[in-house]
Amino acid sequence: MPEEETRDSSVHNFGVRFVLEGDGPWALDLPAGELQLDVRDEEGEHIEASVIAGEHVAEIHGPTTLRRLRPGPQRIFVSADDHRSAIIEVSVPESGCVPVEVVLPQR
């Protein structure tokens, strides 16, 4: 399933891969866990940031929901121009949303 961005730029629906074996029928369920990511600078202002979660990349600005992440521990990389990067360790739930706030200091 290809990655798609909804009309609301504050939501990113990441693509999901399924390996199908046998003749089927198959029950394919999309991951229901989400992260609500809020990236700011040291002054508390929202900044444009690049986010890498597994094989997925998103460009965000302001609070953004990342959907369809695989459940369990994830390492999220967050970077922005002229700011230091951050590596965030988070556990994505089977369903529901986890808020994650990131402050990127200037270089």
Distance CA 58, CA 66 (A): 9
C-alpha distances out from residue 3 to 11, 19, 27, 86, Å:
12, 17, 20, 24
Number of independent structural domains in the chain: 1
Residue 24 in any domain: the answer is no
Strands 32-40, 95-103: pairing is parallel
Residue 23 in any domain: the answer is no
In degrees rounded to 5, what are phi and psi of residue 105? -70, 155
- Print the domain residue range for 12: 4-16+29-103
Quick: pLDDT tens for 53-69.
Answer: 988 999 999 999 999 99
Residue 22 in any domain: the answer is no
What's the pLDDT at 16? 85
Residue 78 in any domain: the answer is yes
Q: Which of 104, 99, 107, 1 is nearest to 43 (CA)?
A: 104
Residue 92 in any domain: the answer is yes
Residue 98 in any domain: the answer is yes
What's the pLDDT at 9? 54
Residue 21 in any domain: the answer is no
Cis peptide before 25 (omega within 30 of 0): yes
Quick: pLDDT tens for 5-57.
Answer: 444 459 988 888 888 989 989 988 888 999 999 999 999 999 999 999 988 99
Q: Which two tokens stand for residue 53?
A: 């979660």
Domain holding 71: CATH number? 2.60.40.10
